[in-house]
Amino acid sequence: MKVWIDKFRMRSLSFTFAILATLSVGILLGSVMAHGVDGKESKVDSSDAKPLQVPSPVNLSTTFTQIVKEDGPAVVNINTISIPKASHAQQRFPGNPQGNPNAPDGNGPDQEGPGDQGQQGPDQGQNGMQDFFNHFFGFGGPQGPQGEAPDGGEREALGSGFIVDPRGYIITNNHVIDKADKIYVKLSTDGVGDQGHPATLVGLDKETDIAVLKINVDHPLPTVKLGNSDGSQIGDWVLAIGSPFGLNQTVTAGIISSENRSIPQAGPIGAGEFQHFIQTDAAINPGNSGGPLVNMNGQVIGMNTAIYTQSAGNEGIGFAMPSNTVINVYNQLIGPEHKVIRGSIGITFQAAMSSAVSRVYGFKNGVIVSSVQPGFSAANAGIKPGDIIVSIDGRQIKDGNDLINDIASRKPGTKATLGYIRNGQHATATVTIGDRDTMMAALNSGGRGGSANGPQQSGQGKLGMGVSNVPQELATKLGIQGGVIVRSIRPGSFADGLQLGPGALILQMNRQPITNAEQFQEMASKLKSGDDVVFLVMDPQNPDRGNSYVGGTLP
């Protein structure tokens, strides 16, 4: 048996060696056949190959190219240095990184005069809604969330601007130079290592986020051509020129994707009554702020201001302040007072109205007055809360923005005729335009508060809310008669859809005054599916903000 096994092993080994030998011979033959008998690679005669030549340049100039050549030299890079103050870190507030306690919270009615638009820095939270609007300009290099150096040193920021006067006057965004201790402007002709020309601030307007700078030069500078933004249309081609990420003279192209765009609750950018933007899908990135948005005529029709983003970079939605607004503000900022003076008549109003409110109160265009500031022209002319302003000097008012822009553009001391509706009757009143800043100072200096105590007297019912009577002490303090306080809201109910919350004070339902909870319950019981329901609501914690109208259609 052992002998048989040994023979088998010898035969297996012989068979294996035979296979390996056969493979080796095959590989050798293949190599010889591929490279010649001697196995060496032969030389190729390339004497008939012709060398390649660089062709003569071809002029493929387009409208884009010509625009960049004309406007590019007038676009500048702006860099700033801010020295942090000792108490800087201790002065920040939640949701307001730059530490301004008066930053707008987006609540309350829109004001006919500008509110306190405190500057709010970029929110660097991870939540997508916190990143809804990134000011994003000025985050170059290895810096912290606010552009600060890792060791807490000087804060550097980057942005763009454009020259509008050959003597060195430049327009940019206020948030580019806000709180800067040093401002430098780098021209397109300056060298790579040049820091730029020292600039001085001529004036700024926080309401529109516009600033004017001045540099001293010994020769005329190139300027952009300014256009009329009212002539722009959705779908028009536009170019954005600027210094994204500090990369000077960068050009991106896109179209106008929307106009007259307002972005509520977006901090100082987008939150003001005078911030209505051109929307574009031209790529706008950190550092583009303050640069021009140019049409196909080579005219600047907007100033790039902000982006909609959840990643701090371009996502195809950018916003530019219209040139007509920029020009108007610039002309006032270079004036003797170096500030923008706006008119006011001393009212607040609720700009956003549901269709249900319009149907119940019987108007299509106009605004409902929420409050009237005592001692100002509207109060002196007899305007009252609840009046619906529908015209100015015979011209019909489209909406709240139309009213604001018209009144604000008028000089204090001039007169205007308001057309309004009260209790279904049309009337007129002559008002004297006042100073907006004065009105706002008076409005913000007031404020009353109060707590809503008292037993609940009515259930949630079909409206989905429980209410109680207003305590007499609170009614006296607020200067009201009657009304009910919202005690509870049923999730998913009609009231919940209106965003009413516990503590709100309801004064009227469908134009009918509410005297107590029992009457409220009786009126609510008569409502049926498909009815419009509109409430006149007061915030007892902030009564001076004026009343609001909220409503909808009962499901």
Q: Which of 68-72, 137-141, 354-358 has the lowest mean pLDDT?
A: 137-141
Residue linked to tokens 């930053």: 103
pLDDT attached to residue 464: 83
In this structure, is residue 170 part of a structural domain? yes
C-alpha to C-alpha distance for 428 and 420, rounded to whole angstroms: 6
- In the residue annotation, 61 being an active-site residue is answered as no
pLDDT band at 130 (very low <50, low <70, confident <90, very high): very low
- In the residue annotation, 209 being an active-site residue is answered as yes
C-alpha to C-alpha distance for 365 and 352, rounded to whole angstroms: 11
In this structure, is residue 450 part of a structural domain? no
- Same domain for 314 and 333: yes
Q: In whole angstroms, what separates CA 542 from the centre of its chain?
A: 26
Count the Cβ atoms, other than its own, within 10 Å of residue 498.
Answer: 22
Q: How many structural domains compose the chain? A: 3
Please say which residue of 340, 369, 402 terminates a domain: 340
C-alpha to C-alpha distance for 211 and 201, rounded to whole angstroms: 8
Distances, alpha carbon 79 to alpha carbons 163, 210, 295, 512, in Å: 15, 16, 26, 58
C-alpha to C-alpha distance for 535 and 353, rounded to whole angstroms: 12
| Mean pLDDT to the nearest integer, 29-53 | 68
Q: Which structural domain, as residue segments, surrounds residue 492? A: 461-553
Amino acid sitting at position 480: I
- Same domain for 489 and 420: no
Q: What's the token pair of residue 515?
A: 């005297």
Residues in CB range of 63: below 8 A, 6 or more apart? 296
C-alpha to C-alpha distance for 462 and 495, rounded to whole angstroms: 9
Grouping H, G, I as helix, E, B as strand and the rest as coil, residue 295 is strand
**Residue range 337-377, pLDDT digits in tens:** 898 989 989 888 875 566 777 777 777 788 888 888 777 88
In this structure, is residue 1 part of a structural domain? no
In this structure, is residue 393 part of a structural domain? yes
More confident position, 312 or 296: 296
Q: What's the token pair of residue 164?
A: 């509008």
Distances, alpha carbon 314 to alpha carbons 83, 216, 321, in Å: 29, 34, 18
In this structure, is residue 512 part of a structural domain? yes
pLDDT band at 97 (very low <50, low <70, confident <90, very high): very low
Q: What's the token pair of residue 169?
A: 């006057």
Is residue 181 a contact partner of residue 199, using CB atoms and an 8 Å limit? no
Distances, alpha carbon 295 to alpha carbons 54, 277, 391, in Å: 35, 15, 34
- Same domain for 222 and 158: yes
Options 289, 358, 377, 468, the catalytic residue: 289
- Same domain for 358 and 375: yes
Q: Which of 243-247, 253-257, 379-383 has the lowest mean pLDDT?
A: 243-247
- Same domain for 538 and 467: yes
pLDDT band at 39 (very low <50, low <70, confident <90, very high): very low
Grouping H, G, I as helix, E, B as strand and the rest as coil, residue 404 is helix
pLDDT attached to residue 160: 95
C-alpha to C-alpha distance for 37 and 16, rounded to whole angstroms: 29
Options 71, 110, 175, 458, the catalytic residue: 175
- Same domain for 512 and 427: no
State which of 133-142, 151-160, 219-228, 497-506 shows the largest mean pLDDT: 219-228
- Same domain for 261 and 112: yes
Is residue 367 a contact partner of residue 391, using CB atoms and an 8 Å limit? no
Residue 309 has pLDDT above 50, yes or no: yes
Is residue 162 a contact partner of residue 150, using CB atoms and an 8 Å limit? no
Please say which residue of 340, 357, 373 terminates a domain: 340
* Percent of residues, the chain, with pLDDT higher than 70: 72
Please say which residue of 313, 340, 367 terminates a domain: 340
C-alpha to C-alpha distance for 506 and 537, rounded to whole angstroms: 5
Residue 86 has pLDDT above 70, yes or no: no
pLDDT band at 319 (very low <50, low <70, confident <90, very high): very high
Mean confidence (pLDDT) of the chain: 76
User: How buried is 521 (Cβ within 10 angstroms: 0-12 exposed, 13-18 middle, 19+ buried)?
Assistant: middle
- Same domain for 311 and 352: no
- Same domain for 332 and 356: no
DSSP labels, 216-273: --SSPPP-PEE--GGG--TT-EEEEEE-GGG-SSEEEEEEEEEEEE--SSBTBTT-ST
In this structure, is residue 370 part of a structural domain? yes
State which of 235-239, 246-250, 316-320 shows the largest mean pLDDT: 235-239
Q: What's the token pair of residue 432?
A: 């004297």
- Same domain for 362 and 331: no
Is residue 505 a contact partner of residue 454, using CB atoms and an 8 Å limit? no
DSSP labels, 95-117: TBTT--TT---S-S--BSS----
In this structure, is residue 348 part of a structural domain? yes
Cα atoms in the Cβ-side hemisphere of radius 13 Å centred on 216: 2
Residue among 248, 265, 307, 229 nearest 117 (CA):
265
- Same domain for 523 and 411: no
Options 110, 178, 205, 209, the catalytic residue: 209
Residue 439 has pLDDT above 60, yes or no: yes
What Rg do the C-alpha atoms of the chain give, in angstroms? 35
In this structure, is residue 111 part of a structural domain? yes
What's the CATH number where 415 sits?
Answer: 2.30.42.10
pLDDT attached to residue 358: 73
Gap between the terminal Cα atoms of the chain:
98
| Mean pLDDT to the nearest integer, 211-218 | 95
C-alpha to C-alpha distance for 489 and 502, rounded to whole angstroms: 7
- Same domain for 544 and 481: yes
Residue 470 has pLDDT above 80, yes or no: yes
- In the residue annotation, 354 being an active-site residue is answered as no
